[in-house]
Structure 1
Amino acid sequence: MSYQNFYFLGIGGIGMSALARFFRAKGFDVAGYDRTRSDLTQQLEKEGIAIHYEDEVSLIPTLFKQPDNTLVVYTPAVPADHSERLFFERHGFKLLKRAQVLGEITRQQRGICIAGTHGKTTTSTMTAHLLKESHVDCNAFLGGISKNYTTNLLLSQKSDYVVIEADEYDRSFHQLTPYMAVITAADPDHLDIYGTPEAFRESFEHFTSLVREGGYLIVKKGADLTPRVHSSVKCYTYAVDQDADFKATNMRISNGEIIFDFHTPTEEIHNIRLGVPVPVNVENGTAAMALAWLAGATAEELKAGMASFKGIHRRFDIQYKSDKLVFIDDYAHHPTELKTSISSIKKVYGERKVCGIFQPHLYTRTRDFAEGFAEALSLLDEVILLDIYPAREQPIPGVTSQIIFDRITTKKKTLCTKQELLSILAKKKNFDVLATFGAGDIDRLLPDIKQLLEERK
């Protein structure tokens, strides 16, 4: 790209911040705006990126007010009437969505793109780690903060592979040109964008058509879609304890460890140990190992990489652990993700009583999937349900957390605001495992919750 300056509208997003870091690492001048100061934006500032938090044109650094050498990158979450966005549009700047910039990167390098309603952040981070730990190496734009590398951007001086989380929101992943692609799931979501489950599924089918000639597509066995790949693209399936091209079998869970065997089309790799012993990571790991194996990683490199994987911030993230209590935080915000996460907790911790705190994300998602959320939350021994986190949306009449709450069958259930949570939680004693779920701002309460549990010793 023939620009010297890159300005980001919404720089604090997990995907935007990785791009900002990428251009900064390449020696370009980078600055940006975000609505909210966060740990991530403060880290970017420490790395030398200028950020401001008010929608005010006068705060844009002078260097970035030159349309000839400044590219503006924005997210779909930035509204059309945002004053800085309007300034750039009216003064002849080139504006690109984050996905368009990533798409250009996939055309310059060999993109390994992980798509799916669930599991894409873990799978992409696992894939990147496996390649980093092998002789293959890679670059990576991750949808979460890797605990192995404490960042969402990985760079390589020798590899032209680039691992990218392919986001289906706003059809962003249609901008990509993958060399390899995985689809972990195509369960309907974002119906505010797609309208119908059929349109959502069709979007994933279109994504498969974007895999470049001579590339690879790997789809979870049973995913409800029909690939539309070029005749030269090699297609594979993956699964756990099912017949598939890549599969995990013989899973053993004991003493806080998970061990399993991995089968490729031509070899078997026995006794793979999960560094993060969560049952769902066997499935995520199967997809990640399939990608890394196709890229050339050896059996021993795969085993070592899986064992040394430390996980991702906010993905089955253990915040606190004592002899009596465990506190886990998870990003789950779709009914299937929630059910999978709760089921994993139940498998790992057996008969121990689990209390879950859930913050619904978006009015439309709550409206469309209230029954599914209630079914998943009913697996818990106790439920604390918070108000909806609106994110980019305006309220919808009649849509509140109450429509989930009324359907939950667990007898011990509480509906409260975020402000009331700590005082309510302080009175509850009858649980062994506490879990927080949601994609909103519930993570900002984690330090206070952790302190409350530590004081309960």
Structure 2
Amino acid sequence: MSFEGIHSVHLLGIGGIGMSALARWFRHEGYVVSGYDRSPSPLIDELIAEGMEVGFEDSLECIPEEVKSHPAKSLIVWTPALPKDSQQLNFFQENKYKLQKRSEVLGVLTSSYYTIAVAGTHGKTTTSSMIAHLLKSAGKPVAAFLGGITQNYQSNLILGKKKSKGQKLVVVEADEFDRSFLRLHPNEAVITSADADHLDIYGDEQHILDGFIAFTELLDKKGKIYIQQNALLRLTEERLPKVIKKEYGLRSSGIHAENIQAKPGFFVFDYVDSKQDIKGLELYIPGFHNVENALAAIAIALDHGLSEKEIRKGLSSFKGVKRRFEIHVNEGGQVYIDDYAHHPEEIRACLSSVRAMFPAKQLTVVFQPHLFSRTRDFADEFSESLSLADAVILLDIYPARELPIAGVTSEMLLEKINSSDKILLGKNDLMQHLDQASTEVLVTMGAGDIDRLVPEIASWMKNRINPLAV
């Protein structure tokens, strides 16, 4: 498939983080872009402000006339999250429009450019954003399709200057959900992690490992793969294709970090590989896991010709991704951090880093579990990782695409959490509870709609520090 002859692009589920990046790219390339989503959001407001028409009713009347009148000149991009009885989706299918999933469109784009694809059950959004920022800040011709909103660019799409010299690079987040990363055409790949997840899609742990192996087999013969040390152990080197492999990790024998120092608000570390040692790098998105993500980004930047000076500048200026260890308050003895963590290993990495940064402070975590199946499959692991906090507040499970599963509730996690201070609350009761609680370091976590509470919590904490300033 190509985009030749296409005039209009209509995206079903346009407000999704991945879909909206495509919408922005098509708009940038001169296409007429429209879409449908279930409800408004700040991201959709931005798309509308950028000139895209968005409707919130799944009806034929909400399809732009340009799209309805010219099927041959229209491309429909859709997400599998749409219900099967979607009026718009069925209309486009019945009238033989060109329909492509988001992953298929990314497949077309990555077949046209030199592609760096970043995969992993966690860490891929920050790592891909960091790679793209290092390259762009050094003047490389790069475009990036990301799974989060970067703080530097306030967007999930990064575009280089049109007249930049050199080979056009594309950095893309390679999503393992629904096996969509198997449609990409990577020249280089990163695997940040390969833990068991999405078992509702893959069935068991072995099948998700098989999925990652299949992803690596998409690399061309001259390709490279940068693989985190634990992911390499799980996938086993013998199963990987015969391409250039570079292992990285905090304690890897290959690319690794030394002299890591956790400071209040940033980390300092040395980058070390077989050829060079870059000392005293400063990273202003805290977390041991982010130091590890930076190792992969730096290795790729070096391979693409960036100097030590360019790497120092790019790394220290990287502001991170919204909802990835995002520090909203750090003043007056009070700290508030929000994170997208929704897997036990992500929770463990985040809370361990918070402990290192603020070792003497009481740590309170508010966690909203995401998916009934994930909660069921990793119940013991969730309870163990959440027990790193002094106080735990559990919210009800966010169902996302799932129907309830009998017996699966947040309460099943609460029972096995070792923290002495633990409670289960409804989301609407959280602010009242916080008013009565004693908090020093507060962390909110989850991939559901807990993010809608973030501005209110940040404002509440700032008001607590200085009531006259808010």
TM-score of Structure 1 vs Structure 2, range by shorter chain:
over 0.9
The residue type paired with residue 101 of structure 2 is K
Q: Cα deviation per residue 1:81-117 (whole Å; 9 max; x = unaligned)? A: 2111111101101111101111111110011110001
Is the partner of 1:222 in helix, strand or coil?
helix
Contact 2:372/2:408, CA 8 A, preserved across alignment: yes
How far does residue 400 in structure 1 lie from its aligned partner after superposition?
0.9
For 1:132 and 1:21, the matched residues in 2 are separated by 18
Q: Pairwise mapping of residues 261-410 of structure 1 onto structure 2 (< 5 A)?
A: 261-410=270-419
Deviations, residues 138-176 of structure 1 (Å, cap 9, x unaligned): 110111111111111111223511010100000010001
Q: 1:26 aligns with which of 24, 29, 44?
A: 29
Q: Secondary structure of the equivalent of 1:240?
A: coil
Root mean square deviation, CA, Å: 1.3
- Does structure 2 conserve the Cα–Cα contact (< 8 Å) formed by 1:333 and 1:438? yes
Matched, 1:211 2:219: yes
User: What CA deviation, in whole Å up to 9, does each residue of 1:158-211 have, x standing for no partner?
Assistant: 351101010000001000110110001100100000001000110001000001
2:288–2:349 contact (8 Å) kept in structure 1: no
Write the distance in 1 (CA, Å) between the matches of 2:283 and 2:459.
29
Report SS of the residue matched to 1:419: helix
Letter in 1 for 2:336: F
Deviations 1:43-89 (A, max 9, x none): 00000001111111111111112220111111121122211111110
Match of 2:191 in 1: 183
Q: Give distance in 1, aligned partners of 2:80 and 2:350.
A: 28
d(CA) in 2 for partners of 1:282 and 1:77? 33
Does the Cα contact within 8 Å between 2:265 and 2:285 map onto a contact in 1?
A: no
Deviation at 1:230, TM superposition (A): 4.8
444, 452, 456: which is aligned to 1:436? 444
What is the distance in 2 between the residues matched to 1:234 and 1:451? 49
Deviations 1:225-248, CA, capped at 9 Å, x for gaps: 0355554x211111113311x222
Structure 2, unaligned runs of 5 or more: 466-470
1:60 aligns with 2:63: yes
Q: Does 1:97 align with 2:108?
A: no
Compute the TM-score of the two structures, normalised by the length of structure 2.
0.94
The answer to whether the 8 A contact 2:364-2:389 is kept is yes
Cα separation, 2, equivalents of 1:183 and 1:230: 14
CA contact (8 A) 1:334 1:373 kept: yes
Amino acid at match of 2:327: I
Task: Report the identity percentage.
Answer: 45
Amino acid at match of 1:73: V
With normalisation by structure 1, the TM-score equals 0.97
Q: 2:142 aligned with 1:134, yes or no?
A: no
Counterpart residue number, 1:202: 210
**How far off its partner does 1:314 sit?**
0.4
Residue of 103, 109, 112 corresponding to 2:113: 109
Q: Is the 8 A contact 1:141 1:154 kept in 2?
A: yes
Separation in 2, partners of 1:455, 1:272: 35
User: Number of residue pairs matched?
Assistant: 454
Where 1:297 maps in the other structure, the secondary structure is: coil
Question: Post-superposition shift, 1:222?
Answer: 2.5
Q: SS at 2:271's partner residue?
A: strand
2:139 and 2:240 map into 1 onto residues whose CA distance is 29
1: CA distance between counterparts of 2:312 and 2:115?
23
After superposition, the Cα gap between the structure-2 partners of 1:255 and 1:364, relative to the gap in structure 1 and judged at 3 Å, is closer
Cα deviation, residue 318, structure 1? 1.1
Contact 1:210/1:229 (<8 A) preserved: no
SS of 1:8's partner is: strand
Q: Distance in 2 between matches of 1:317 and 1:342?
A: 13
Instruction: Write the letter of the residue equivalent to 1:138.
Output: V
How far residue 132 of structure 1 moved from its aligned partner, in angstroms, is 0.7
| Residue 278 of structure 1, CA deviation | 2.5
Question: Which deviates more, 385-394 or 214-223?
Answer: 214-223
Q: Measure how far apart 1:324 and its partner are.
A: 2.2
Counterpart of 1:236 in structure 2 is 246
Distance 1:397 1:255 in 2: 43
Name the structure 2 match of 1:45.
48
- Unmatched 5+ stretches in structure 1: none
Quote how far apart the aligned CAs of 1:440 are: 0.4
The corresponding residue for 1:154 is 158
Q: Any idea what SS the aligned residue of 1:32 has? A: strand
Q: Secondary structure at the match of 2:127?
A: helix
Is residue 262 of structure 2 the alignment partner of residue 253 of structure 1?
yes
Contact 2:287–2:349, Cα closer than 8 Å, also in 1: no
* Aligned residue in 1 for 2:126: 122
Q: Distance in 1 between matches of 2:11 and 2:404?
A: 28
Cα displacement string for residues 268-310 of structure 1 (whole angstroms, at most 9, x for unaligned residues): 2222111223222110100111122222222221111111111
Most deviating of 288-297 and 327-336: 288-297
Q: Which amino acid aligns with 1:194?
A: Y
- Check conservation: 2:37, 2:56, Cα contact below 8 A: yes
Aligned equivalents of 1:105 and 1:55: distance in 2? 28
CA distance in 2, matches of 1:299, 1:53: 48
Q: Decide which moves more: 163-172 or 49-58.
A: 49-58
- 289-298 or 322-331, larger mean C-alpha shift: 289-298
